[in-house]
Amino acid sequence: MMATVIDASTMRLLWNVVEEIGSHDLLSLNDSGLMRLVLEEVSHRVSLDGEARSSMVDYIRSKTGLIRDIAESRRIREC
């Protein structure tokens, strides 16, 4: 089975969504909740078929540490 590639515009959208979600929200959730929140926000803006959704879940899961680092950095700057 070949992995679905996430196109560049959807990838940009994903990271824009991460930037738009409040740092408190991202930091207060466990990994599963963070993944669901980000995926839900992306899904509200772009249609993802089953394979694309699965690829997006895998990608977000692999980036939860980075997402938390970004959120923590924003939280510190906001203080």
Global pTM? 0.88
Residues 6+ apart with CB under 8 A from 67: 18, 26, 34, 38, 60
- Any idea where the domains of the chain sit in the sequence? 21-78
- Given pLDDT bands bounded at 50, 70 and 90, which one contains residue 2? very low
29: left (phi > 0), else alpha (psi -120 to 50), else beta?
Answer: beta
User: Does 62 have pLDDT greater than 90?
Assistant: yes
User: Does 25 have pLDDT greater than 90?
Assistant: yes
- Given pLDDT bands bounded at 50, 70 and 90, which one contains residue 4? low
Of 1-5, 56-60, 73-77, which gets the smallest average pLDDT? 1-5
Residues 6+ apart with CB under 8 A from 45: 13, 17
